Amino acid sequence: MATNSDANRIVITGIGLTSPNGNNLAEFRNNLLEGVSGIEHMEIRHMGKVAAGNCNFDEYKYLKKKMRKRGTRAGSIAVYCANEAIVDSGINMEEQDKDAIGIYLGITEHGNVETEEEIHQLYQNDLKTEFWSHHHNPRTVANAPAGEVSLNLGITGPSYTIGAACAAGNLGLIHGAQMIRAGEVQWALAGGISESTHTFGIFAAFASQGALGSDEDPTMATKPLDKDRNGIVVSEGGCVYVLESLEHAKARGAKIYGEIIGYHVNSDATDFVLPNSSRQIECMNKAMKKAGLGPDEIDIVNMHATGTGQGDIQECAAVREVFGPVANTHINATKGYIGHCMGAAGALELAGNLPSFEDGKVHGCRNIENLDPECAIDGLVIGAPVEKEVKTILNNSFGMLGINSAIIIAKYN
Amino acid sequence: MEQTEVRQKVLDIIADVALDEDLSNLDDSLALRDQLDLDSMDFLDIVMELKKRHQIEVPQADYPELATMDSCVTYLTPKFN
C-alpha cells in the first residue's frame, strides 16, 4: 500500500453499528461470543411468515420525528450508526471543518422499500397517481442514506453511496480509506447500510431462486456451511466507521481499533449470481500482497458464507486453497447469528471480529450441526469461541454480478 | 362546516406533518413558517393530506392562501362545504 508515512496509514477510530443482535459493538460482540441469534419470524406483505433479522435501535436517538418520516429506513440506520461512531471516536463535531469530512456508505440496493410501498399505496388508491408521494424521488435516489447523514450532521463534504451488492460494506471502508489517502477529506464516515427486510421483493426473489433460508426455529433458518443449509436469511443492519489517517488520529489522541493494511476488489465476469472461486482466491491473495503478508500471517478470515448451497462451497474452495495449508489461520462466519445484512454485511462482520485484538478470542460459526464435507476447512471455528492472539483479520465480502472484496485490518501497536 | 371545525382539521394535518412541534401556542394570525419549522416539502405534505383526507384540491397558485391559520380557514371553509 502507498507509503508508510503516518499521513498514508488509515486507522479505524470509531464504530457505530446496529445489527439484529446488538445496537453497539459491545452488545454485538458479546452476543457473537455467547452464541445469541438475532433472527426471528416476521410477517411480510404477500409472503406471510419469513425468517428475518431486524434491528431494534432507537430511531429517534439522533433523528427528529419529521425527518424520520420524510426520509428512509436506510437513512435512519445510517444516521444512528454515524452518530454512534462519532460519539465512540471522541470527535467533537463543533470543532470540525464540516467540508473536510466524507460520508461513504456501501449499499446493496436502495429504493426498493420505498417503491414497493408507493406501488402498494397506488393500488389502495385505485391507481390514481395524483396521490403518489412527492417524497418518492428524494427517498429513492441512490445517495439517500448518505445524504440523510449529511443533513443530520451538517456535513458539507462529499456524501454518497457505493453500490456493490453484498460486497458493499467492505467497499465503503475501502473507498473511505482511498479518499483520505488521496487528500480529498480529512476523515470519513464509512461503512455499509441495509434496510432490506422492509421489502417483500428480496425475500420473494430469493425464494424463487431456491435460496431463501427457512426453519421452524427462526434462529436455525440460515446455516452457513452446514450440510442441511437451505438458504439466506434477509436482514437489515448498519455499521459506520470513523476512518482517519494515523497522523490525524495521533494528533487528537484517538483510540485506535485497527489499521487498514490491505484490500482488493475484483470482478468474476462469469455469472449474475454464482460466485467464482478463482477470482475470490485472486482477491484474497492480492489483498495480502498489498498488506505485505502471507497467508500464515492472517489470524482470522471472516467468510462471506451466506448459507446457499453453491455459494458456500465455492467460497470454501477458495479459502481452503489459500488458507487450508496454513496452521495459524482461524476461520469464522457471522451470518448464522444475524442473517445476511446485505450492504452492511461486510462492515458489520468485520466489526464483530475487531475486538479479537483486545480480548484474544475468535468467535465461532453458529448453526453448524452437521458440517458439509465440501465446506470443511482446517481452522474453521465452530460453536464456542477459541482463545488466540489476534493481530490480523481478513474480511471477505462478495456480491451478485460477481463483485469480490477482501479487506485486511491489523492490530495497531 | 364551522370554521372551528375546519381549523381543527387543518391543525390535525399540521400535527402529522410537523411531528416535532408544539402547536398549543399557535398564533392564527402569524405565518405558520415563522412559528414552526416548516419547509416547502412540508407544505406539499399539507396540500397532499388535504387532497387525501378531504378531497380538497389546492392549486399551486393558491398556496399563499395557506400562509397563516387564519388564511387557511378562510380559504378552506368554502371548500369543506
- Tell me how close the Cα of A152 comes to any Cα of chain B, in angstroms: 15
Q: How far is CA B69 from CA A112, A204, A264, B43, B63, in A?
A: 37, 47, 59, 13, 13
Amino acid identity of residue A50, one-letter, is: V
| Residues of chain B contacting residue A135, judged by C-beta atoms under 8 Å apart | 41
A–B interface: beta-carbon pairs under 8 A: 22
User: Are A352 and A32 a contacting pair, CB within 8 Å?
Assistant: yes
* Of residues A22, A40, A46, A42, the one with CA closest to residue A32: A22
| Residues of chain A contacting residue B20, judged by C-beta atoms under 8 Å apart | 64-66
Residue A340 bears catalytic tag: yes
CB contact under 8 Å between B19 and A133, yes or no, is no
DSSP letters of A25-93?
A: HHHHHHHHHHT---EEEEEETTTEEEEEE-----TTSSS-HHHHHHS-HHHHHHHHHHHHHHHHHT--G
Cα A282–chain centre separation: 21
What pLDDT digit, counting tens, does each position of A338-394 carry? 999 999 999 999 999 999 999 999 999 999 999 999 999 999 999 999 999 999 999
- Tell me how close the Cα of A158 comes to any Cα of chain B, in angstroms: 24
Mean pLDDT of chain A: 97
- Tell me how close the Cα of A67 comes to any Cα of chain B, in angstroms: 9
Whether A1 has a pLDDT exceeding 60, the answer reads no
In angstroms, the CA A361 to CA A358 distance is: 8
In angstroms, the CA A359 to CA A365 distance is: 18
Q: Which residue matches cell numbers 410537523?
A: B18
Q: How far is CA A356 from CA A29, A369, A387, A395, in A?
A: 9, 24, 9, 13
pLDDT at A4: 82
pLDDT at A3: 61
What pLDDT digit, counting tens, does each position of B29-56 carry? 999 999 999 999 999 999 999 999 999 9
In angstroms, the CA A237 to CA A169 distance is: 11
Q: pLDDT over 70 for what percent of chain A?
A: 99
DSSP letters of A290-339?
A: HHT--GGG--EEEE---S-HHHHHHHHHHHHHHHTT-SS-EEEE-HHHH-
The mean pLDDT of A203-219, rounded to a whole number, is 97
Question: Which residues of chain B from 25 to 54 reach within 8 Å of chain A, CB to CB?
Answer: 37, 41-42, 44-45, 48, 51-52
In angstroms, the CA A139 to CA A147 distance is: 10
What pLDDT digit, counting tens, does each position of B52-72 carry? 999 999 999 999 999 999 999
* H or E segment and range at residue A263: strand A258-267
CB contact under 8 Å between A134 and B51, yes or no, is no
What pLDDT digit, counting tens, does each position of A140-171 carry? 999 999 999 999 999 999 999 999 999 999 99
pLDDT band at residue B10 under the 50/70/90 scheme: very high
Whether B77 has a pLDDT exceeding 80, the answer reads yes
**Angle between helix B40-54 and B3-17 (nearest 10):** 130
C-alpha cell at A75: 437513512
| Residues of chain A contacting residue B45, judged by C-beta atoms under 8 Å apart | 134
Residue A375 bears catalytic tag: no
Exactly one of A166, A283, A316, A365 is catalytic; name it. A166
In angstroms, the CA A18 to CA A22 distance is: 6
Residue of B19, B48, B52 with shortest CB distance to A65: B19
The mean pLDDT of A297-325, rounded to a whole number, is 97
pLDDT at A413: 86
Antiparallel, parallel or unpaired: β A330-333 and A403-410: unpaired
Ordered strands of the A403-410 beta sheet: A159-163, A101-107, A187-194, A237-245, A10-18, A258-267, A403-410, A392-399, A300-303, A330-333
Residue of B19, B41, B52 with shortest CB distance to A131: B52
What pLDDT digit, counting tens, does each position of A20-63 carry? 999 999 999 999 999 999 999 999 999 999 999 999 999 999 99
CB contact under 8 Å between A134 and B48, yes or no, is yes
Whether A263 has a pLDDT exceeding 50, the answer reads yes
pLDDT at B9: 98
pLDDT at A247: 98
Whether A2 has a pLDDT exceeding 80, the answer reads no
> Residue A328: what are its φ and ψ, rounded to 5°?
-70, -35
A60 touches chain B (CB under 8 A): no
- Tell me how close the Cα of B68 comes to any Cα of chain A, in angstroms: 20
CB contact under 8 Å between B17 and A130, yes or no, is no
Among chain A residues, the shortest Cα distance to B43 is held by: A134
